[in-house]
Amino acid sequence: MDDHLAQSESKATILIVDDMPANLEVMTNHLERQGYRAVVALSGDEGLERAEFVHPDLILLDVMMPGLDGFETCRRLKANPRTRDIPVIFMTALTDTADKLAGFAAGAVDYVTKPLNGAEVLARIDSHVTLYALRRQLAEQNDQLQQEIVARAATQAALERSNAEFEQLAYVASHDMQEPLRMIASYLQLLARRYQGRLDADADEFIGYAVDGAKRMQALINDLLALSRLGTKAKPFAPTDCNRVVQTALSDLVVAIEESGATVNVSKLPTVMGDETQLLQLFRNLLSNAIKFHGEAQPIVQLSAEALDAEWKFSVQDNGIGIASEYFERIFILFQRLHGRSQYPGTGIGLAICKKIVERHGGHFELQSQPGQGSTFSFTLPRT
């Protein structure tokens, strides 16, 4: 029991309702000696008024009273939202089982028989006051939890709206930038072809910088469009043969494979429920990275799938340059690069796109790697 609860119990208020002043005096003295605060009422009507005004922690209620008896008083207490949760213990000389059942039916939590045994009354009071305090504490915590749930739901809804607006903004901005940038790049390339060698060396160098910058900007816009389409152009999931998807990805990467001399081995892959366009993008990005980030040795890439209890685990393993463990989280963040563009070209968006695709499909990523010893990118997808 914590200190707060013990303190609340030691100052608990007990309402005693009895038409006999002598009984009230005896019970009041007994309870006050035990650290309780006692409030008294001489009738059922007076007890109802005191209960609503004082809101005690427990009510000791005599059954046999003139006018409004204990049973009816208890029923009215339980019908009032302000007093219905207060525990009621009947004090009665009635010992018949039917009378006891009537008391419980009226809403009492317990009863003590007259003549009262002080130790028994105190034990029952202690027990029910403790339970009442625990119920109130639990109710307060539940209310607080409900408020937190509502607040988090509102925050989540706002976040989802913000993400949707960002994706739409990124799509519109990237789409609208493509045409003017394409024109800039085309005229810069035309300048490079027509005037290369006809101007001084500095001019050739500056034109080269401009052409390279335009190409990088085009690649960045294309990747931003791809990222925004994950939310704005997503398709419903359908049975997707990963073997066919990977063959398409390898066809897209044929130039990179030939230039690097890479060997790509693909095991038999399953059919999953997914967005085929996004899964193609996922496999293509991971295979492209495995081919691109290699050292002096020719790239060797292994793509496989393992059946787990409720999901498939796909792994793309390479013999490339590897990644230090402190960068495992960073590489999945937008625009994060570990190498200069002169070493390994790219925009730093590819793995962020991969992570978002896997999460949309209900999976998660794992990475195993050490510098100079290659990397294994693994992700899960639910089994159909």
Longest CA–CA span in the chain (Å) reads 120
The residue type found at 61 is: L
Which residue's structure tokens are 């409004």?
A: 68
- The model's pTM: 0.49
Consecutive H or E run containing 251: helix 242-252
3-state secondary structure of 86: coil
Say what the pLDDT of residue 9 is.
44
Instruction: Count Cβ atoms below 10 Å from residue 275 Cβ, excluding itself.
Output: 20
Work out the number of other CB atoms within 10 angstroms of the CB of residue 375: 22
Q: Tens-digit pLDDT profile for the chain (384 aa)? A: 344 344 344 579 999 999 999 989 988 998 988 889 999 999 999 999 999 999 999 999 999 899 999 999 999 999 999 999 999 999 887 767 787 888 889 999 888 888 888 888 888 888 888 888 888 888 888 888 888 888 888 888 887 777 676 666 666 666 666 677 777 778 777 877 787 777 777 777 887 778 777 776 776 676 666 666 666 566 889 999 999 999 999 998 999 999 999 999 999 999 999 999 889 989 999 999 999 888 888 999 999 999 998 999 999 999 988 888 887 777 777 655 555 454 555 556 788 889 989 998 999 999 898 888 899 999 999 987
pLDDT score, position 348:
62
Q: What does the radius of gyration of the chain's CA atoms come to, in whole angstroms?
A: 38
Could you give the CA distance from residue 5 to residue 185 in angstroms, rounded to a whole number? 74
